[in-house]
């Protein structure tokens, strides 16, 4: 992780972009009726956001990117709610404070079918501090779960073959490009091995057809083949390269047959307005990238 001053220069916006995210505001108002007035809400949001930032200097925290409900913006969102109503289960892997799950509940899904999972369990008390829904939310939280750990999804794990749907919002880019196909396959091991099970998500992508590679400054340096420390590789996927990645992850066929889809939308610059951010990513032609792989 980079130091706080560098992270703040690139990835910190002081005020919550409340006008750009009416759905996030109405979600919080739903759970916290006493915060109808956004003036009253702002200090609460800033306090929770600062606590999250002090746990990890994630760009999505500093830039309020978590105000964006990636799942709700996907064309398959109504299908997810319908399947939850039928008793199916969704795993939100890398759930952060479980905002997408809270949104699903407000949009009519039963909370019983929602499993939140993250490497970092210190997000979860913050989420209860924000939503105050300990008595209503009947879903699950699993912390200290690392997708790099085979024990999480291998033989004997309670998570193996358990989920009908797995959502990964702003997750896959956290892993080095060479490892991403393995990560996708690890997630597939947590899906039920039946027709219709699906892995879906979103990430910051690029409009460039072949993807855009650069060196990451937000992850710890790694040792290269010459033994020197260097910045990690980072890739912005295109609709083509993300489909290639998903099909590579299950190419051996032992995980069944799949259909793959990906689409792009314009990137929400309301949550990425810092000048340093714009300069840093100026060549990337960033877009919002949605993807889904569904078992035939």
Ligand X SMILES: C[S@@+](CC[C@H](N)C(=O)[O-])C[C@H]1O[C@@H](n2cnc3c(N)ncnc32)[C@H](O)[C@@H]1O
- Gap between the Cα atoms of 159 and 120, Å rounded: 17
In the complex, what is the shortest distance from the CB of residue 239 to ligand X, in angstroms, rounded to a whole number? 19
Q: Does the footprint of ligand X cover residue 205 (CB under 6 A)? A: no
Contacting range for ligand X; rule: CB under 6 A; set: 58-66, 78-86, 107-115, 264-272: 58-66
Q: Does the footprint of ligand X cover residue 291 (CB under 6 A)? A: no
Strand partners, 168: 201
User: Which 127-146 residues touch ligand X, going by CB under 6 A?
Assistant: 145-146
CA distances 123 to 7, 82, 226, Å, are 19, 28, 38
Contact 203, 193 (CB under 8 A): no
Q: Does the footprint of ligand X cover residue 11 (CB under 6 A)? A: no
Looking at beta carbons only, is 228 or 232 nearer to ligand X?
A: 232
Which of 11, 12, 64, 66 lies at the binding interface for ligand X (CB under 6 A)?
66
Q: Does the footprint of ligand X cover residue 171 (CB under 6 A)? A: yes
Which residue has the closest beta carbon to ligand X?
Answer: 169
Which of 80, 147, 190, 204 lies at the binding interface for ligand X (CB under 6 A)?
147
Looking at beta carbons only, is 74 or 84 nearer to ligand X?
A: 74
The owner of tokens 């939503």 is: 131
- Gap between the Cα atoms of 275 and 11, Å rounded: 10
Q: Tell me the two tokens of residue 85.
A: 């109503």
Radius of gyration, alpha carbons of the chain: 19
Q: Does the footprint of ligand X cover residue 170 (CB under 6 A)? A: yes
In the complex, what is the shortest distance from the CB of residue 227 to ligand X, in angstroms, rounded to a whole number? 25
H-only helix segments in the chain: 4-11, 22-31, 38-55, 59-62, 77-85, 99-106, 123-131, 180-188, 239-249, 275-280
The CB-side HSE value for 253 (13 A sphere, CA atoms) comes to 0
Which of 58, 153, 218, 234 lies at the binding interface for ligand X (CB under 6 A)?
58
In the complex, what is the shortest distance from the CB of residue 155 to ligand X, in angstroms, rounded to a whole number? 20
Looking at beta carbons only, is 60 or 293 nearer to ligand X?
A: 60
In the complex, what is the shortest distance from the CB of residue 174 to ligand X, in angstroms, rounded to a whole number? 5
Residue 147: closest CA among 179, 115, 103: 179
Which of 35, 60, 90, 250 lies at the binding interface for ligand X (CB under 6 A)?
60
Q: Does the footprint of ligand X cover residue 70 (CB under 6 A)? A: yes
Q: Does the footprint of ligand X cover residue 267 (CB under 6 A)? A: no
Q: Does the footprint of ligand X cover residue 96 (CB under 6 A)? A: yes
User: Which 106-125 residues touch ligand X, going by CB under 6 A?
Assistant: 118-120, 123
- Gap between the Cα atoms of 95 and 143, Å rounded: 10
Compute the Cα dihedral for 143, 149, 155, 161 and give only its sign: positive
User: Which 178-197 residues touch ligand X, going by CB under 6 A?
Assistant: none
- Gap between the Cα atoms of 268 and 280, Å rounded: 16
Binding region for ligand X (CB under 6 A): 58, 60, 66, 70, 94-96, 118-120, 123, 145-148, 169-171, 174
């Amino acid at each position: 992780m980079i130091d706080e001053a560098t992270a703040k220069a690139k990835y910190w916006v002081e005020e919550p972009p409340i006008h750009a995210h009416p759905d996030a505001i109405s979600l919080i108002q739903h759970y916290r009726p006493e915060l109808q007035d956004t003036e009253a809400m702002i200090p609460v949001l800033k306090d929770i956001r600062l606590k999250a930032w002090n746990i990890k200097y994630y760009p999505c925290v500093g830039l309020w990117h978590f105000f964006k409900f990636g799942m709700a913006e996907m064309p398959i969102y109504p299908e997810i709610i319908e399947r939850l109503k039928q008793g199916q289960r969704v795993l939100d892997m890398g759930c952060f404070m479980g905002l997408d799950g809270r949104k699903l509940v407000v949009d009519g899904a039963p909370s019983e079918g929602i499993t939140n999972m993250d490497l970092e369990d210190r997000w979860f008390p913050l989420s209860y501090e924000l939503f105050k829904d300990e008595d209503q939310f009947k879903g699950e939280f699993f912390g200290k779960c690392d997708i790099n750990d085979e024990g999480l999804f291998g033989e004997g794990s309670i998570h193996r073959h358990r989920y009908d749907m797995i959502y990964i919002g702003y997750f896959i880019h956290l892993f080095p490009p060479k490892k991403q196909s393995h990560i996708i396959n690890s997630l597939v091991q947590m899906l039920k091995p039946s027709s219709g099970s699906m892995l879906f998500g979103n990430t910051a992508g690029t409009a460039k057809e072949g993807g855009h590679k650069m060196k990451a400054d937000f992850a710890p340096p790694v040792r290269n083949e010459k033994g020197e420390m260097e910045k990690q590789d980072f890739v912005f996927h295109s609709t083509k390269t993300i489909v290639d990645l998903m099909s590579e992850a299950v190419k051996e066929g032992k995980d069944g047959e799949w259909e793959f889809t990906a689409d792009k939308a314009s990137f929400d610059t309301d949550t990425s307005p810092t000048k340093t951010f714009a300069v840093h990513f100026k060549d990337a032609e960033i877009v919002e990238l949605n993807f889904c792989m569904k078992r035939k």
